[in-house]
Amino acid sequence: MQNLPEPGTDIALYATFRLIPKDATSKSVTIEPFHLPGTIVSHQEPDQPLTVVDSSKDGPSSIFLVVPGLDGRNQTISLQSQSNKDCYVHSDMSSGSGVKLRCKSNSEAGFNQATSFVAGKGLRQYNPISFVAKGGNQNFLLEPLFNFRDEHYTVYFNIKD
């Protein structure tokens, strides 16, 4: 976890996630990294780092409930594991421990703040003419070149004799 990156930078691509509702009536979501279409965030056991798995492996460990932020602020949300009821997506930037699934405990100071996130418009959005190219091991987001600013990309030319 780092400070909020500037829009249009390389880091913005990796700092944007989509919350994908499981159905229209519940607050269950899966989390898709913007730069890895076709994958979702999943948790292992409590106190273990979150992982990214293929979306076809959607299971209880990749479903999160969007609940009001545990820090009590109006603009925040917390992401509770559907399969581990008192466990939440937890990020403590001060300790450098990364993003994990942590279970609620009365002894940990700062737990509510470390499990509360501001949900808002992503730093990047899909361009209307973008599409996903399916690769052997990974999918790739393809979009018009004018969308890129300060980002790494590769241009391919098809040259025929």
- Give the integer Cα–Cα distance in Å for 148 and 99: 28
- Asked if residue 23 belongs to a domain, the reply is yes
- Asked if residue 3 belongs to a domain, the reply is no
- Which one-letter amino acid corresponds to residue 96? G
pTM: 0.74
Nearest to 138 by CA among 53, 64, 23, 71: 53
Residue pLDDT, tens place only, 12-48: 667 778 888 988 888 899 999 888 888 999 998 898 8
- Asked if residue 102 belongs to a domain, the reply is yes
| Paired tokens of 75 | 């603009």
- Asked if residue 137 belongs to a domain, the reply is no
Number of domains into which the chain is organized:
1
Give residue 97's pLDDT: 67
Query: H helices of 62-118, where?
Result: 111-114
- Asked if residue 44 belongs to a domain, the reply is yes
Predicted confidence (pLDDT) at residue 1 exceeds the cutoff of 50: no
Predicted confidence (pLDDT) at residue 94 exceeds the cutoff of 70: no
HSE, side-chain direction, 13 A CA sphere, residue 13: 17
- Asked if residue 38 belongs to a domain, the reply is yes
- Give the integer Cα–Cα distance in Å for 93 and 19: 22
Residue pLDDT, tens place only, 109-157: 689 989 998 887 766 677 788 888 888 888 887 777 666 555 566 677 7
How many CB atoms neighbour CB 117 within 10 A? 18
Tell me which residue range forms the domain holding 65: 10-124
**End-to-end C-alpha distance for the chain, whole angstroms:** 49
Give residue 82's pLDDT: 92
Query: Residue 78's domain is classified under what CATH number?
Result: 2.80.10.50
- Asked if residue 159 belongs to a domain, the reply is no
- Asked if residue 61 belongs to a domain, the reply is yes
- Give the integer Cα–Cα distance in Å for 16 and 121: 9
